[in-house]
Amino acid sequence: METPPVACTFTLGPPTQSPSPHVSKPLSSFACTSHQTTPHPATSPVSTFYTLTPPFSSISTHHLSLFFISSFSSPPVSKFSPWVFFMAVVQYQSRLILLLVLFVLLVGGGRVARLDLWDSTIRLPSDKDKPEDANHKEAGTRWAVLVAGSSGYGNYRHQADVCHAYQLLKKGGLKEENIVVFMYDDIANHEINPRPGVIINHPQGQDVYAGVPKDYTGKQVTAANLYAVLLGDKKAVKGGSGKVVDSKPNDRIFLYYSDHGGPGVLGMPNMPFLYAMDFIQVLKKKHASGSYKEMVIYVEACESGSIFEGIMPSDLNIYVTTASNAQENSFGTYCPGMDPSPPPEYITCLGDLYSVAWMEDSERHNLKKETIKQQYQNVKKRTSNSNNYDVGSHVMQYGSKNITVEKLYLYQGFDPASLNFPPNNGQLEKPMEVVNQRDAELFFMWQMYKRSEHGSEKKTHILEQIKETMGHRTHLDASIEFIGTFLYGPGKGFSTLNSVRALGLPLVDDWECLKSMVRVFETQCGLLTQYGMKHMRAFANICNSGVTQSEMEEACSAACNGHDPGQLHPSNKGYSA
């Protein structure tokens, strides 16, 4: 039996300007009417109305004619059959562009289910978002804690990451009263900042600093305050806004941290470090209080996997991803001279590879459709830098992995502007140019040196800073090597201090011993600094091998006799050596 063709024609009106190149708006409706070429007793003209949402924000008035050739079931019904082939011809300023597209429309229950690929472009009036599962009802409150654990203009990227995260969550509908921000706040109005009062996190990015609450800044950015905030302990908080995570049993919590790290530790602008076991104990205490439903944690730092490896329980309803595994660095990006490069007036890196990966992923997708697992996979691919781990890292996951099936909006919120964004397009970004987190400070100092006037006092001073920084690095490395030789002999020192435990085992058996050994070293040899944090594994192995505190004191005294332990103190500019 002959099949009646269906023809559709409509005219688009003037262009609709969209606030974002990714956001398209419905421009018009069009009607499709079947026309018979062979009489069919059971067939009459059929009209079906659609809403077209094309990304044509920059195109002026034009005509689009669509010709559908379809086959109806017998007897015909007022909907398309499973297979539809259409050809669209666009006429625009005397230019003809012939577009040939083949796609599948699956019919069921009076609805047409579309391919995900087309989800962001064409939506039928009957296409409504599926209701969420019963256990995903938003009865609770979303909370967020954002932590930039560094200070100094050379660490610009960490505060930029956190400010960007705040803007993303705010657009997603999280209330300011439910977002707690830790940042030193010495970047936006720093004398070197080429745009006073402005922070950017992308070479073409907008200001992300405006409106960010200054809950805990300067001397208030401490591990102790972070623990108190997470536990909702207002009495334990020292200074700041006093804002804490006063969550209830049905609430969800999102924690994001960006800074330097080392085996078993995360940096803070004020001593002491955040130690892994202390942090895990806080999470256990929070869980025991029954004051949240689920928690998601993202951590950007070198060796960040070591914070959770072997000690993160899987039954706390907490899911964690880290920028790197327990043995490798993470990376800064969007740095001067890279592609893409910051505006020419900037002399520091704007972001971190893992951090910009997850935030830019969230901004490109509908978070009511993208799952935590999908974001993990996307971020893992991008942070690996096309599987080149010399300039990329292994994104890891720990804890309650069953949470990954949930949609991201339950933690990061939902921006209505992303309604027509795809849930997950799986696109890989081009490889990124990066710098090792531990070398980003030297990179910044070198940029300052290059841009200073030749022969100026400033240029000479910067060169002295670079020499001092490199000198302290050499001192730290040589001291650790000497201590290893002193404790274990020339043949075993290096291998013992650098040995890595099997996957799944914690860094150290006795975390209090680890703290003690670090204190002994810093008392006699000076602070570890951001660079020296990489030696935390050596101290862990000293503990694991049974060295006593008195033996460690003797070794440090021999290694650092005559060294001024006050050099490169946090109050000095060279602290980040």
Catalytic machinery residues: 260, 302
Q: Determine the 3-state secondary structure of 121 from DSSP.
A: coil
Residue 501 vs residues 140, 326, 329, 534: alpha-carbon distances, Å: 41, 10, 17, 16
Tokens 């995570």 identify what position? 245
Tokens 């091998």 identify what position? 545
Q: Are the beta carbons of 56 and 15 closer than 8 angstroms?
A: yes
Concatenate the DSSP letters of all residues of 406-418 into one string. SBTHHHH---GGG
Tokens of 44: 């009459």
Tokens of 127: 């296409």
Specify burial of residue 147 (Cβ count, 10 A radius: 0-12, 13-18, 19+): buried
Tokens of 451: 């841009």
Backbone angles phi, psi at 68, to 5 degrees: -105, 135
Name residues whose C-beta falls within 8 Å of residue 505's C-beta, 6 or more positions apart in sequence.
309, 310
Q: Are the beta carbons of 372 and 282 closer than 8 angstroms?
A: no
Q: Which of 157, 273, 162 is nearest to 222 (CA)?
A: 273
Cα(284)–Cα(289) distance, rounded to whole angstroms? 9
Tokens 């006429």 identify what position? 91
Specify burial of residue 218 (Cβ count, 10 A radius: 0-12, 13-18, 19+): middle
Backbone angles phi, psi at 321, to 5 degrees: -125, 150
Backbone angles phi, psi at 183, to 5 degrees: -160, 145
What strands, in cross-sheet order, belong to the sheet with 434-436? Answer: 351-352, 331-333, 434-436
Q: Which of 333, 395, 408, 335 is nearest to 367 (CA)?
A: 408
Residue 365 vs residues 315, 346, 371, 403: alpha-carbon distances, Å: 29, 30, 10, 19
**DSSP letter (8 states) at residue 236:** T
What's the gap between Cα 423 and its chain centre? 17
Q: Which of 135, 147, 142 is nearest to 402 (CA)?
A: 135
Q: Which of 373, 424, 405, 374 is nearest to 116 (CA)?
A: 424
**One-letter identity of residue 66:** L
Name residues whose C-beta falls within 8 Å of residue 558's C-beta, 6 or more positions apart in sequence.
482, 486
